[in-house]
Amino acid sequence: MMHLRYVKKKNLNKNITVSKNKIFQRSIYAIKNIKKGEYFNDENIKTFRPNLGLSAEFFLNIIGKKSPQNINKNKPLPKKIIKNSLK
């Protein structure tokens, strides 16, 4: 039988590993200023590290969709944008 102290330590190590890995994952960033209503395309968004905003797995999903808000150059796309832009 596993001791409770071991389980807590194991879960803590897992959380640390996940947050360390997040810096190696990619996120979608605006490479130009994007105005509300402007369409997302490969000329105004790119994927970069670290994963601070919307995950890069949604890149192809948002291409051709309208931006629901203004986004400044070199800023990650917020996660809430996926709900608004895919309607």
Question: Is residue 37 a contact partner of residue 11, using CB atoms and an 8 Å limit?
Answer: no
Per-residue pLDDT of the chain (87 residues; tens, 9 = 90+): 445 554 455 555 556 566 667 778 999 999 999 999 999 999 999 999 998 999 999 999 999 999 999 999 999 999 998 876 555
Task: Please tell me the predicted confidence (pLDDT) of residue 37.
Answer: 96
Report residue 76: phi and psi, to 5°.
Answer: -70, 145
What ranges make up the beta strands (E) of 27-83? 27-30, 45-48
Looking at residue 50, which CATH number applies to its domain? 3.90.1210.10
Q: Is residue 19 part of a domain?
A: no
Task: Name the residue range of residue 34's domain.
Answer: 26-85
Can you give the pTM of this predicted structure? 0.74
Q: In the prediction, which pLDDT does 85 show? A: 57
In a domain? residue 79:
yes
Domains of the chain: total: 1
Asked if residue 6 belongs to a domain, the reply is no
Q: To the nearest 10°, the Cα dihedral for 9, 24, 52, 48? A: 180
Q: What is the pLDDT of residue 86?
A: 54
